[in-house]
Structure 1
Amino acid sequence: MSVKFIHFSDSHLGASDSITITHSAREQREKDKYTALKLIVDRIIKEKPDFVIHTGDFFHRASPGNAPLVSAIEQLGRLNTAKIPLYMIAGNHDFPKVTTQQPIHQIFKHLKNIKIFFDEAYSVVDLGNCTLHALPHINSKETFNKELEKITTEGRKSPNILMMHLSMPIAASEEIELGGGVFPAEKLELLGKFDYVALGHWHKFLHLKQYGNVFYSGAPDKMNLSEINHTKGFISVEIEDSGKVNAQFVPLNTREIIEITITDCDKKNEGYILKEISDALKEHEIKDSVIVINLKDLSKASYYATRVEEIEKITAGCLDLRLTRATRADEFFDDDGEVKPIDSLFEDLRRAFSDDELYLRFFDLTNKLLEEIETERAQNVD
């Protein structure tokens, strides 16, 4: 008898994103996470799989607010009522870092068809037609390594399915998620003994074919700029009697996030730049989308040649517009340690001045100050 299940992960209920700027847009992006969960639950109830697995970070924080809790209770309640079992492991985001704080997952204990592993231990569950192996997030590296040693398929009924929330010891483009532990490189051969390995923590859908049927389902919605080009969704899996695994990625219809980059802006006038932006947007639905426009290679003379109000006319109807400007070389570090173009600083300053002449004087003084800081920094290094 074949086994059918759905694998999804990293719902991050309660999170917004690091893409949008306005408060209203950030509120809407948080709601988008709840919408994504509902869409997945709708599909689950329609397909009626044998069970569902979620591989961690269901919540964005270990102490979620009211809105994510309400969304979670509503949607998991629907699965429970439909008598579709859900097996979930805790992730690094939604599991507390201190022992004095109780895991939020306990609130679902009363739901008969919802089982969440949050005890920082390896568990094995016989589901009748398959065996489920669960390794939730573990804070202690020592305990993590100890529990990893227990993972085995020996003496277990096939097919064997393994759930983990961690990174793999390989370079993966755009994946910079930290804090979830790393699977040991010397144990990668173990993964091939499982019929399906369900992973969480990385937000991009990935099939790590070199290790077998090893999959990251990815997050159901976009979280930051590095995920703009990711297609989001979940995985529908069938393991046939023969052992053949059919894993199909199912895309979700999430909010469109559009990124447009215009280069060599110092060689183009405002009209030409606006036309490039307009042409690029013809391929997209502007209404209710999030738009990121990057103007690169600007000179100081052309820095504000392209007016924000003109770009806003082209992007009218979008949920949020994020505009960045970058010169060919200058950068500075902001307070949280991230590299930002220095033009972002000047853009913020520009908005604070209504008098152009006063702004230009301030612009020159700020440039001189930054040059002095850079000179002093270089001298200190020497």
Structure 2
Amino acid sequence: MKMTVKIAHLADTHLGYRQYGIQEREDDFYDAFKNVVDDIIEKDVDYVIHCGDLFEQPKPPIKALLVAQECFNKLMENNIEVYVIAGNHDILQRRKTSLPQELFENDNFHIISTKNNHHILKEDIYLTGLPYLQKVHEAQVKDMLDELVLETRAHKHSILMLHGGVSKLFGFECEFENDTIPEGFDYYALGHIHERKMDKFKNGLLCYPGSTEIKNKGEISEYENKGKGYVLLSVDDSVEAEYVNIDLERKFIVCDIKYSELDIRLDEIADKINNEILVNTDKKPVLILNIKEGDFERSEVSGKIYDKLGDISLSVRLSYEPTIIIDDHKEINDLLSPKKALINRIKTDIDEQFESLGVDLYNSLAKRDLEEAKEISDTFYEKFYYKGEENDNK
């Protein structure tokens, strides 16, 4: 009797990542992974495929390893087999080094690698893939994929697991050009890009599940619009995919606040936190506030914000865009503000894609937040400019 096979596709869990250097944010990444696993079990899934960046770094903290072990054991106790590939964050770029995932390897936990690159699942589903390989190796990747696709002809359905960006979906240089990935697979399971993308690709379906937690500011609006979680595949006569949303308990509040409205807006935010957020959870929100338009002292503004919101927030991230006052007391607002001047200079001298990077770095460095500046730089580098240098671990 033919049955429908259910497969959960997830990626970019980044266990061990400590956002803003705060333990609670590290724990949020663990909680997100646990909640995804619980939902997968509840939906009676047959298999889990994880398409890379299980961990934030190739030498994860002990707690990250323990959480991963707990979750994988839970899946296997419910007869759910796990298949994983390594992402760029999982790999230590030196020869003869092991993956942290090897700690969990057994008859029900499988690592798909260049040497052990395919498995046959129930109902004759051919599952194959490759770990993350740097852009410089794209020619070799194409040759390996051309060999792997030959086996699809002998099976009813086929799934390919990869970690990297595909040029078809993104307007920047990616790990894979369209021609690198062959036609012939029913489902192309991808990781690496943290936003959700699903599109037809070479007579199949290509999909990014996105990350399971918010790793940078740019993911906040993505989460609000599309959610976070995983993809649920249903395989019978065809392959169908749908996104499953798993709500994040920690809330982010992002606001632009005019200095003239500061007191009113702070009261509104405090009211929202106390009467909407903290009545449903004990997880205090992260605030990302930009104060603009006015002649003000940053120390005075930050003091007022922390007095009003500090105790009811996990973290307050501040940026400032004050009005400049020149000698004749004439106000220069957006036209000649440092931010606007920076944007104009970038547009003149460099490609437009660097505009948001310059502004975000300006905002972070203006408030002396070196960690956030590094996070912004790393995220931009991965997404827009990564060329696969040999010693890069990002």
TM interval, shorter chain, is 0.7 to 0.9
Identify the residue that residue 146 of structure 1 maps to in structure 2: 143
CA offsets, 1:281-307, max 9 Å, x none? 699525524333333434444655635
TM-score by length of 2: 0.72
Matched residue, 2:186: 195
The residue that corresponds to 1:12 in the other structure is 14
Give the aligned residue type for 1:72.
A
Specify which of 120, 129, 136 is matched with residue 126 of structure 1. Answer: 120
Counterpart of 1:12, as a letter, is: H
> Aligned to 1:213, what secondary structure does the other structure show?
strand
Q: Compare the two structures and name the one with the higher helix fraction.
A: 2
2:255 pairs with 1:274: no
Residue 85 of structure 1 deviates from its aligned partner by: 0.8
Relative to 1, partners in 2 of residues 1:44 and 1:272: Cα closer, same or farther, differing over 3 Å? Answer: closer
Q: Distance in 2 between matches of 1:5 and 1:79?
A: 12
Distance verdict in 2 for CA 1:315–1:131, change over 3 Å: same
Q: 2:35 aligns with which of 24, 33, 39?
A: 39
Matched, 1:326 2:334: no
User: SS in structure 2 opposite 1:208?
Assistant: strand
Q: How does 1:343-358 map to 2 (within 5 A)?
A: none
TM-superposed CA distance for 1:157, in Å, is 0.8
Matched letter for residue 186 of structure 1? D
> Which digits, 9 at most, give the CA deviation of each residue in 1:49-86, with x for residues without a partner?
22111111111111112111111111112222322111
Q: Which residue of 1 aligns with 2:26?
A: 30
Deviation for aligned residue 1:344: 5.9
Percent identity over paired residues = 25
TM-score (norm 1): 0.74
Q: 1:121 to 1:338 in 2, by over 3 A?
A: farther
What runs of 5+ residues in structure 2 fail to find an aligned partner?
323-333, 343-356, 370-394
Could you tell me how far 1:220 is from its partner in structure 2? 0.8
How has the CA–CA distance of structure 1 residues 88 and 28 changed in structure 2, closer, same or farther, with 3 Å as cutoff? Answer: same
User: Which consecutive residues of structure 1, in runs of 5 or more, have no partner in the other structure?
Assistant: 350-382
SS where residue 241 of structure 2 aligns?
Answer: strand
Change beyond 3 A, Cα 1:304–1:270: farther
Instruction: Give the greater-gyration-radius structure (CA).
Output: 1
Cα displacement string for residues 97-124 of structure 1 (whole angstroms, at most 9, x for unaligned residues): 0003222222223x22110123x35823
Residue 58 (structure 1) aligned to one of 30, 54, 58 = 54
Paired residues for 1:107-122 under 5 Å: 107-109=103-105, 111-118=106-113, 120=114
Using the alignment, how far apart are the partners of 1:80 and 1:144 within structure 2?
Answer: 31
Cα distance, 1:302–1:254 mapped onto 2, change above 3 Å:
same
Tell me what 1:184 maps to: 177
In 1, are the aligned partners of 2:58 and 2:99 still within 8 Å (CA)? yes
Q: Deviations over 1:92-149 (max 9, x none)?
A: 110220003222222223x22110123x358232224111121211246153333233
Q: Secondary structure at the match of 2:290?
A: strand
Residue 75 of structure 2 corresponds to 79
Displacement of 1:203 after TM fit?
Answer: 0.9
The structure-2 alpha-carbon separation of the partners of 1:269 and 1:52, relative to structure 1 and needing over 3 Å to count, comes to: closer
Supply the distance in 2 between the matched residues of 1:52 and 1:77 (Cα, whole angstroms). 13
Task: Give the AA of the match of 1:199.
Answer: L
Q: 1:219-230 maps to which residues of 2 (within 5 A)?
A: 219-229=211-221, 230=223
Structure 1: distance between partners of 2:213 and 2:163: 18
Q: d(CA) in 2 for partners of 1:133 and 1:274?
A: 52
CA shift, 1:259, in A, is: 3.4
Once residues 343 and 236 of structure 1 are traced to their aligned partners in structure 2, the CA distance between those partners, rounded to angstroms, is 39
Task: State the alpha-carbon separation in 1 of the partners of residues 34 and 85 from structure 2.
Answer: 19
Residues 213 and 295 of structure 1: CA distance in aligned 2, closer, same or farther (over 3 Å): same
- CA drift of 1:187 comes to 4.4
Root mean square deviation, CA, Å: 3.2
